[in-house]
Amino acid sequence: MKSGVTKEQLHSLIDEAYAKYKSYNGGKNADYIPYLAKVDSELFGIAACLPDGQIIQVGDCGERFGIESISKVMTAILILKLYGAETILDMIGADATGMPFNSIMAILLEKNHPSTPLVNAGAIAAVSLVQPVGNKELKWKAIVDNMRELCDAPLPLIDELYKSESASNYNNRSIAWLLKHYNRIYDDPELSLDLYTRQCSMGVTARELAICGATIANDGINPVSKKRVFSKALAPKITAMLASVGFYEHTGDWMFTSGLPAKSGVGGGIMGVLPGGFGIATFSPPLDASGNSVKGQKALRYIMQRLDAGIYNSN
């Protein structure tokens, strides 16, 4: 591996981190989406995918949970493929907002200034850009097909989560219409909101997220299917987005302590990308106040600090 990390080294660190944090109690399941509050808080898994497609997994890596905000990374990849990096920088942007993922304030402050596809406003705008604009069914197919190629697995919709989230997403509805007010949404706001809610309600496993992370780490070639999913030139753009806003207002602290570009979701997942190295994912539902999995952060930090191979290291 380019990072100099061996499979054995990574495997034993994953085992150690799992054993060390398995019984850790901290954080709380998301409850603003009723479905998520009911998920078993004890579930815990860590998976990694190496550039040759080998998978390391410990714990509940086959458990399906709500992908939530990690889907933002996948749809960001889709629109980068459709429009190219320059156009996406112009139409949405790549700046961290420094605010919570669902911040309305961030939109008000940046009304003439782009944000990022990795927070709710930019993600709803990203969904609006998926082609063919105006055709809900074909847009949804494009989103789902892209997820399947990235994860090398067909992700199912968790219908109960979709219903639960659709019945409680008033804040996101405000975001969609505020974007319309500022001409920063490029399809019908209700259509875009619904597809965004649906993509967040897809069920994924830690194993599948590790494969998606490894596809980004491997410059766009899925190491399991061996298929090219996106061009090599897009990989550093996606990693830059992860490193600047993947953990929202706590991304700086996260990068400072882990060196691992990663994206969290309120379903309890985290997907990490070590370019040229591996994809790594954790699943544990209890979250901190910013919506990032507490156990997942502890485990990944433990692994990355011992590997000493974060993206800011020179080795």
Within the chain, what is the greatest distance between any pair of CA atoms?
53
**Could you tell me if residue 152 is left (phi over 0), alpha (psi between -120 and 50 degrees) or otherwise beta?**
left
Under the criterion CB under 6 A, does residue 266 sit at the interface with ligand GLN? yes
Between 197 and 218, name the residue whose CB sits nearer to ligand GLN. Answer: 197
In the complex, minimum distance from the CB of residue 33 to ligand GLN, in angstroms, rounded to a whole number: 7
In the complex, minimum distance from the CB of residue 54 to ligand GLN, in angstroms, rounded to a whole number: 29
Closest CB to ligand GLN: residue number: 69
In the complex, minimum distance from the CB of residue 233 to ligand GLN, in angstroms, rounded to a whole number: 28
Residues in CB range of 144: below 8 A, 6 or more apart:
154, 155, 202
In one letter, which amino acid is 138? L
Asked whether 9 and 184 are in contact (CB, 8 A), the reply is no
Between 9 and 168, name the residue whose CB sits nearer to ligand GLN. Answer: 168
Between 9 and 166, name the residue whose CB sits nearer to ligand GLN. Answer: 166
In terms of DSSP H, where are the helices of the chain? Answer: 7-21, 34-37, 70-83, 85-91, 105-109, 120-129, 136-151, 159-166, 170-181, 189-200, 206-217, 235-245, 251-258, 294-307
- Short-list 91, 14, 13, CA closest to 47: 14
**Within 5-34, which residues bind ligand GLN (CB under 6 A)?**
none
Under the criterion CB under 6 A, does residue 65 sit at the interface with ligand GLN? no
Residues in CB range of 102: below 8 A, 6 or more apart:
119, 120, 171, 172, 175
User: For the chain, what's the residue count?
Assistant: 315
Q: List the one residue from 27, 261, 265, 310 that touches ligand GLN (CB under 6 A).
A: 265
Q: List the one residue from 44, 101, 140, 283 that touches ligand GLN (CB under 6 A).
A: 101
| Distance in angstroms (rounded) separating the CA atoms of residues 288 and 46 | 18
Under the criterion CB under 6 A, does residue 164 sit at the interface with ligand GLN? no
Q: List the one residue from 172, 239, 258, 293 that touches ligand GLN (CB under 6 A).
A: 172
Classified as helix, coil or strand, 134 is: coil
Between 258 and 264, name the residue whose CB sits nearer to ligand GLN. Answer: 264
Q: Determine the distance from the C-alpha atom of residue 52 to the mean position of all C-alpha atoms in its chain, rounded to a whole number.
A: 22
Under the criterion CB under 6 A, does residue 152 sit at the interface with ligand GLN? no
In the complex, minimum distance from the CB of residue 140 to ligand GLN, in angstroms, rounded to a whole number: 16
Q: List the one residue from 60, 63, 68, 194 that touches ligand GLN (CB under 6 A).
A: 68
**Within 102-121, which residues bind ligand GLN (CB under 6 A)?**
102, 120
Tokens of 120: 């709710």
Residue count at the site for ligand GLN (CB under 6 A)?
Answer: 11
**Within 270-309, which residues bind ligand GLN (CB under 6 A)?**
291
Under the criterion CB under 6 A, does residue 69 sit at the interface with ligand GLN? yes
- Short-list 28, 10, 11, 22, CA closest to 60: 22
Which residues in this chain contact ligand GLN in the complex, by CB under 6 A? 68-69, 101-102, 120, 165, 172, 200, 265-266, 291
